[in-house]
């Protein structure tokens, strides 16, 4: 495909795959798309191993890295906050509610290890920027911020290395702020997306943002939210998107980091099972509905979600434990299992290899264009 964006990034097909799994990132880039490693859980120390592996497996094709530097964090202004320090600030009611859910399901959560305790707080901005800096020792071709306006240091890093900076926008107003901040690529992410998302649908948000940006630096807009097929990618590009930014579709690949239990739940789910709730990170994020999300959102005894970053300390370890117990055959633990996923989960009916998914996107894309041409053929 010929476009300014494809030239800018040296790719053939503007399908962006956000994944926490290096295997997916490498497979997508190899197949002609653009893999983006979600590095939120990494540190400057751990990121090298991941990127070394990608460098060895991506056939020299371009890839990128995505961090999450939230503009608003409950611990804003505090420096060097460790996980252990935060643990001590979690209210008893929240601790007890989470423990009760696990106990009811017969799930045992291991005590936080020493190593985990010394880790930076979840979504720590300093850690994200240092991780990004470390990543520049590798041939990364894009850096992205998953929530809000990237800090100036991130824009500067991109400039210094000649690497474009992308950022996600869930509303027109966000996109205008991103454009003003100097971002090079804007990802217009609709409410149907997995993970943190706003309330406007992709079908409306993409043209609304493209229209609002006008010819401002000719910023390419990628469409995100709900896109699982090449037909949907063509739909987004019919509206002027420069490409598609995808996430959920890679969770149902053989390479994915998700558990077999979660992939089975993806196949069984309809779009309505992807709910937008605060009960995993403290900010509204779409994820698979489960007894965990139901309890936090609907149970009369629920103490409600804590703000970011506290909520992740409660949920991540608990849900890892539930996932492990579910893999061992615990049915109640299986009911608890959830992960970030968008409404597109309703379109998942099998688990494929990531390279195959890219091929299927290309096929679907071409079929969609042919469908449109056939309709207006004489």
**Interacting residues toward a copy of itself by CB under 8 A:** 1-3, 171-173, 190-192, 198-205, 207-208, 211, 225-227, 229, 231-232, 234-240, 270-272, 342-344, 346-347, 366, 368-369, 371-373, 375-377
Instruction: Count CB-CB contacts under 10 A for residue 226.
Output: 31
d(CA 116, CA 327): 23
131 or 229: CB nearest a copy of itself: 229
Residue 21 in tokens: 């799994």
DSSP string, 81-98: -BHHHHHTTS-HHHHHHH
Q: Which is nearer to a copy of itself, 3 or 181 (CB)?
A: 3
Q: How near is the Cβ of 178 to a copy of itself at its closest, in Å?
A: 16
Residues contacting 145, CB < 8 A, separation 6+: 66, 67, 68, 69, 154, 165, 166, 167, 168
* CB 228 to a copy of itself: min, Å: 8
In the numeric block, the tokens 């493209």 are attached to 210
Closest approach of Cβ 290 to a copy of itself, in Å?
17
Least distance from C-beta 347 to a copy of itself, angstroms? 6
Written in H, E and C, the secondary structure of 163-223 is: CCEEEEECCHHHHHHHHHHCCCEEEEECCCCCEECCCCCHHHHHHHHHHHHCCHHHCCEEE
Of residues 86 and 206, the one with the C-beta less far from a copy of itself: 206
- The secondary element (H helix, E strand) that includes residue 279 is none
As measured in angstroms, the least distance from the Cβ of 278 to a copy of itself is: 17
Distance (Å, whole) CA 294 – CA 161? 45
Q: How far is the CB of 317 from a copy of itself (least distance, A)?
A: 30
Give min distance, CB of 296 to a copy of itself, in A: 19
Q: Which is nearer to a copy of itself, 52 or 173 (CB)?
A: 173
Of 85 and 267, which has the nearer Cβ to a copy of itself? 267
In degrees and rounded to multiples of 5, residue 10 shows phi and psi of 70, 40
Euclidean distance between CA atoms 166 and 61, whole angstroms = 19
Of the pair 233, 318, the CB lying nearest a copy of itself is at 233
Q: Record the tokens describing residue 63, joined without a space.
A: 């890839």
Nearer Cβ to a copy of itself (3/82) = 3
Residue whose tokens read 């739940």: 265
Closest distance to a copy of itself from the beta carbon of 355 (Å) = 21
CB of 302 to a copy of itself, least distance (A): 21
Of the candidates 140, 138, 20, which has an alpha carbon nearest to the alpha carbon of residue 68?
20
Contact 192, 172 (CB under 8 A): no
Q: Measured from the CB atom, is 152 or 270 closer to a copy of itself?
A: 270
Q: Is the bond into 111 cis (omega within 30 degrees of 0)?
A: no
Angle among Cα 145, 226, 338 to the nearest 5 degrees reads 80
Q: Do residues 221 and 242 touch, judged by C-beta distance below 8 A?
A: yes
Query: Minimum distance from CB of 103 to a copy of itself (Å)?
Result: 32
Burial 181-214 (b: 16+ CB within 10 A, else e): bbbbbbbbbbbbbbbbbbebbbbebbbbbbebbe
């Amino acid at each position: 495909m010929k476009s300014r964006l494809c030239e800018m990034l040296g790719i053939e097909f503007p399908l962006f795959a956000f994944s926490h799994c290096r295997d997916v990132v490498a497979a997508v880039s190899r197949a002609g798309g653009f893999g983006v490693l979600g590095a939120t859980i990494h540190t400057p120390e751990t990121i090298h191993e991941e990127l070394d592996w990608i460098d060895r497996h991506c056939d020299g094709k371009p890839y990128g890295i995505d961090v999450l530097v939230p503009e608003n964090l409950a611990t804003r202004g505090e420096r060097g906050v460790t996980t252990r320090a935060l643990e001590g600030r979690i209210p008893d009611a929240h601790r007890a509610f989470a423990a009760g859910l696990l106990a009811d399901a017969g799930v045992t959560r291991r005590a936080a290890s020493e190593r985990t305790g010394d880790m930076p707080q979840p979504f720590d901005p300093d850690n994200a920027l240092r991780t990004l800096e470390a990543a520049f020792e590798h041939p990364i071709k894009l850096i992205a911020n998953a929530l809000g306006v990237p800090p100036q240091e991130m824009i500067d890093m991109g400039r210094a290395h000649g690497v474009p900076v992308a950022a996600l926008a869930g509303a027109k107003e966000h996109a205008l702020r991103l454009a003003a901040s100097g971002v090079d690529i804007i990802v217009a992410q609709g409410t149907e997306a997995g993970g943190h998302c706003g309330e406007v649908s992709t079908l409306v948000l993409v043209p609304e943002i493209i229209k609002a940006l006008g010819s401002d630096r000719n910023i390419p807009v990628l469409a995100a939210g709900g896109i699982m097929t090449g037909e949907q990618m063509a739909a987004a590009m019919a509206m002027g998107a420069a490409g598609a930014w995808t996430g959920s579709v890679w969770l149902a690949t053989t390479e994915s980091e998700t558990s077999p239990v979660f992939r089975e739940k993806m196949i069984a789910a309809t779009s309505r099972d992807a709910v937008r709730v605060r009960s995993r990170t403290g900010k509204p994020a779409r994820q698979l509905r489960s007894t965990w999300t139901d309890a936090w959102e609907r149970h009369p005894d629920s103490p409600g979600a804590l703000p970011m970053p506290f909520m992740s300390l409660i949920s991540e370890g608990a849900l890892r434990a539930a996932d492990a117990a579910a893999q061992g055959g615990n049915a109640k633990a299986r009911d608890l299992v959830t992960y970030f996923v968008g409404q597109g989960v309703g379109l998942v009916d099998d688990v494929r290899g990531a390279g195959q998914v890219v091929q299927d996107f290309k096929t679907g894309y071409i079929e969609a264009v042919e469908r449109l041409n056939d309709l207006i053929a004489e």
